[in-house]
Structure 1
Amino acid sequence: MASSSFSNNSISISVSDDDPDEFGRKRVRTRRKRKKHGHRRIRNELNQLLIRLFVKYWMLLVFLPAAVLIIFEVTSVGRKPVLVVNSEINEVKRPNLMGNPELTKPKEATQGKKLDSKLNRLDPITHVVGGVREPCLKLLPAEELQHLDISEDEESTISSPVKRLVYISDHQTPHGHGGGDSTLSLQRTNVTRFNLFTGNQTFDEREKSFKVSGTVVLHCGFFSENGGFAISDRDKSYMQTCKLVASTCAFGGGDDLYQPIGMSEASLKKVCYVAFWDEITLAAQESQGNKIGEDGLIGKWRIVIVRNLPFVDQRLNGKIPKMLPHRLFPHAKYSIWVDSKSQFRRDPLGVVEALLWRRNSVLAISEHGARSSVYDEAKAVVLKHKATPVEVEVQMTQYRKDGLPEDKRFNGKKALNEASVIVRKHTPLTNMFMCLWFNEVVRFTSRDQLSFPYVLWRLEVLKNINMFPVCTRRDLVNSMGHIRKAKPLTN
């Protein structure tokens, strides 16, 4: 009864969670029920919060994976191989992609697109000097260019060890040289590169021609009136008026004619722009609608037609206006040569001031961009099939015999050149240098960069040469590359 009464009492007084049961324990069942209700309430609140967040940000959740994928792709671009463009040789190269030859082939581009990307560009070429970016060619301001004049200063001639040049020809016999030679009567023959234009320079005459004296006797082209490279009297008269000349040439229907740009009004009045063509190039250009005007001009260029070219090799024919402008323009004080593959894009007076007057130089020519040793260049010429191994070996053997050193620099300067642009003052000494250079090209190979260091080494007295860097050459011209190869002449 008592027990029953205790049981009834315990049931009737179960109102507090803190009241102990008959074993002194709290009523766990009642506590568990309350705890379970609390969890359920928290879960409900959390679910409601998640639902509200989803309703509010569901668009972000949907597009987040796509955004992450885009970010990954963008950041990975820098790790992918890219195209490398070499503007010096107009090639587009791909890096080696896993050694797959199919993926390393150069990307082909049309010649038209290459021309469009470079033609008529005037933007300066710059380089970093001492952490500061500067233009490669610093010309005077436009207002100062207007006042530049062609110097009549004769100081360099007075101080020069060479005062006078005598050119060997078939109608004068200085020191027993000259005289007609029937063995030279054949023109454009493959038997020998010497002909009636060059005269037959012997090795003994070659050796004597390097000796410096007040009067130097040497071969320098135009050996005979019947030797070729015939120019009309009208053009000759015009060429005799030139004091500063910018010239180029295209023989055998080769490159197109690019108009010079970037010149001042003063240069337009004082500079002769002369382009030498042969009859093949004339016909090719006329077929494209490029007609010579009544004044002999196409644009700024005075077109001079040359007939009876003396060499089978068109590269040799091109060396005549390139190396012998002092013979073609007898009264010129200065000349600027520009290869036909390039567009001249700077003021000629400004170029003479910057590269010659400011540097106290009489000859300015670009350094070679890839090599500095003539013997290394000889190997490259053979590998690129620019000349035959036999003729290159003959030339290098002779230069080694003469003692041309393996040194990569002469007088602290890089001797190997890239002669697409030549700026010079016409003095007896520089004229002598160009004659010697031309004779080496005729005797050996048409690759004039092989003979330039040799002549520079032999003619020790010519010191004030400005071997300007490649970036300066790139600023002087827009390099377009050769469009078509000129075909050799036939007999």
Structure 2
Amino acid sequence: MASSVKLNCISISVSDSDSDEAPGWKQSRFRRKRRNPRGRWKDEPFRRALRRAMSWWPVLVFIPAIALLFFEASRLSVKPTVEHSSTGRFIRPEPGSNLNRLDPTTRVVNGSRVACLPILHPEQIQHLEFPEIAESDFPVKKVVYKSDPFVSQSIGNATMLPAYFDSIRFNLFTGNQTLYEREESFKVNETAVVHCGFYSEKGGFKLSEDDKKYMQGCQAVVSTCSFGGGDDLYQPIGMTEASLEKVCYVAFWDEITLAAQEAEGKMILDDHMIGKWRIVIVKNLPFSDQRLNGKIPKMLSHRLFPQARYSIWVDSKSQFRRDPIGVLEALLWRTKSVLAISEHGARSSIYDEGKAVIKKNKATPEEVKVQLNQYRVDGMPNQKRFKGKKALAEASVIVREHTPLTNLFMCLWFNEVVRFTSRDQLSFPYVLWRLGIPGINMFPVCTRKDLVNSMGHKHKVKPLVRSTT
């Protein structure tokens, strides 16, 4: 039966056949797939565990973090490793730094872990004596230091030349080395005549008579310096009582560093000592560039300690942590070397180092360009190895015997950092290549890490304000 509906004069017919299924017609239906009870039973434990983990996620995150925090705190609270004395007893190092550690640095060699610095046991070091002076096969037998008749009417009674004289940083401390004299200085003769600082009484780097007398009595020395108040003074650790008797520990400060250290309560005693260091106050520094002033005690220790046979230089950002006589035995005597210096950890090429110096704003592009162009003109190859070792040195630790050969090497190196940039990593390979010095022990980075605890620079160095008139 059909029915009729009127809506706005439009007739819509709906038949009974439209509302009921016609015979033989099967209506399509969408059925929801029934879950497999077995699959649901398998997933349910995982789902419950996941829901529980989600509800406890803060605990799961913070428990490992708290455990790591306690682990690091326990490491810092561990008492510093003790150091040996000559009697086999132990001397606890001075507190005050979480880097006062003496545990050896190791590395893997041929599948076995070995010490980076194979230093002798303290009882063996106690009985070591300085070896007799050996005759060198190298032609240089004597070094004479130039003292130029250097007078300029333009400076009158001034104690200093301008910081740059004819675009070069030579002054009354260094003497005025010409390019011809530079070239002649690299020619190996039995008697070498070179500029090597301390040119004039008006040149600066003034020391007291008491300090000079003390320094002249040193047979072996560990030295450091801090000019411009950039670093703290870190007490050496790890030495035997024998080394304390035989080795001088000298720290060079300027008056800026002195004031900065006194402001922090570090006062020099009447005997000029702070801990194990003899503090030597330097007045009238020769250069406005404090980094260049720091090269004087670093490179010219043979001039500052004229009677010393051995010296160990340590940058002021580091804490020396090994027995100095043991270091001499391990790095010089055992290897038959006269100079030991650490390899550079990041680069091997002098020209790659020049790019890094510019990128890190350690020197201007113009300064680096002048230096490297001169080295190219001189024929310096872009070699990354020198006699099997890296050509580039890191130079924060220098161990050497004071022989005519090493004294000449250090004088030539110093003249290069005065002439060009104060970045001594750039000039070291050049001097090594030009002089062809034998007996160089360029030890790996891990050995340097065993020698010192690295502290980093504490403050920005304050510039030296000095009038040149």
Q: TM-score, normalised by structure 1?
A: 0.75
Report the CA distance between 1:121 and its aligned residue.
Answer: 1.4
> C-alpha separation between the residues in 2 aligned to 1:406 and 1:69?
62
Does residue 394 (structure 1) correspond to residue 380 (structure 2)? The answer is: no
The answer to whether residue 146 in structure 2 is matched with residue 168 in structure 1 is: yes
Question: Equivalences for 1:37-76 in 2 at 5 Å?
Answer: 66=52
Range with bigger deviation, 119-128 or 335-344:
119-128
Preserved contact between residue 143 and residue 192 of structure 2 (Cα < 8 Å): yes
Within 5 Å, give how 1:237-386 maps onto structure 2. 237-386=213-362
Deviation digits for residues 276-327 of structure 1, max 9, x if unmatched?
0011111111111111111110000000010000000000000000000000
- Give 2:452's aligned residue: 477
Alignment-mate amino acid for residue 122 of structure 2:
A
2:162, 2:451 → 1: CA distance? Answer: 37
Of 109, 114, 137, the residue aligned with 1:134 is 114
Q: 1:150 pairs with 130, 137, 156, which one?
A: 130
Structure 1 residue 464: deviation in Å? 1.1
- Of residues 184, 188, 193, the one that matches 1:217 is 193
**1:46-81 superposed Cα distances (whole Å, 9 cap, x missing partner):** xxxxxxxxxxxxxxx98896379989x989x99xxx
Distance 2:48 2:387 in 1: 72
Give, in whole Å, the separation in 1 of the partners of 2:140 and 2:317: 34
Q: Distance in 1 between matches of 2:164 and 2:399?
A: 34
Q: Does 1:488 align with 2:463?
A: yes
Question: Structure 1 CA distance, aligned partners of 2:255 and 2:190?
Answer: 40
Match of 1:231 in 2: 207
Shift of 1:155: 2.5
Determine the C-alpha separation between the residues in 2 that align with 1:356 and 1:62. Answer: 68
What letter corresponds to residue 190 of structure 1 in structure 2? A
Contact between 1:186 and 1:195, CA under 8 Å: does it hold in 2?
no
Name the structure with the higher helix share.
Answer: 1
The answer as to whether partners of 2:160 and 2:202 remain within 8 angstroms in 1 is no
Distance 2:53 2:419 in 1: 70
TM alignment of 1:109-128, pairs within 5 A: 118-128=98-108
Counterpart code for 1:66: R
Amino acid at match of 2:269: G
In 2: Cα distance, 1:487 partner to 1:302 partner = 23
2 CA distance for matches of 1:319 and 1:208?
Answer: 23
Question: How many angstroms does 1:190 deviate by?
Answer: 3.2
Alpha-carbon distance in structure 1 between the residues aligned to 2:358 and 2:145: 33
Query: Would the aligned equivalents of 1:255 and 1:340 in 2 still touch at CA under 8 Å?
Result: yes
The letter of the residue matching 2:456 is G
Measured against aligned partners, the alpha-carbon deviations of 1:8-46 in whole angstroms (never above 9, x if no partner) come to xxxxxxxxxxxxxxxxxxxxxxxxxxxxxxxxxxxxxxx
Give the drift of 1:411: 2.1
Distance in 2 between residues matched to 1:181 and 1:430, nearest whole Å? 33
Counterpart CA distance in 2 for 1:183 and 1:306 is: 27
Residue 159 of structure 2 contacts residue 202 of structure 2 at CA under 8 Å; is this kept in 1?
no
Equivalence for 1:201: 177
- Structure 1 gap ranges (5+): 1-60, 83-114, 171-177
d(CA) in 2 for partners of 1:152 and 1:286?
Answer: 42
Q: CA–CA distance in 1 between the matches of 2:397 and 2:326?
A: 15
Whether 1:190 aligns to 2:176 is: no
- Percent of matched pairs sharing the same residue: 69
Q: Residues 188, 474 of structure 1: CA spacing in aligned structure 2 closer, same or farther, 3 A cutoff?
A: farther
Name the structure 1 match of 2:89: none
Alpha-carbon separation, structure 2, partners of 1:401 and 1:381: 20
Work out the CA distance in 1 between the residues paired with 2:307 and 2:338.
Answer: 16
How far is 1:227 from its partner?
A: 0.3
Root-mean-square deviation (CA, aligned residues, Å) is: 2.6
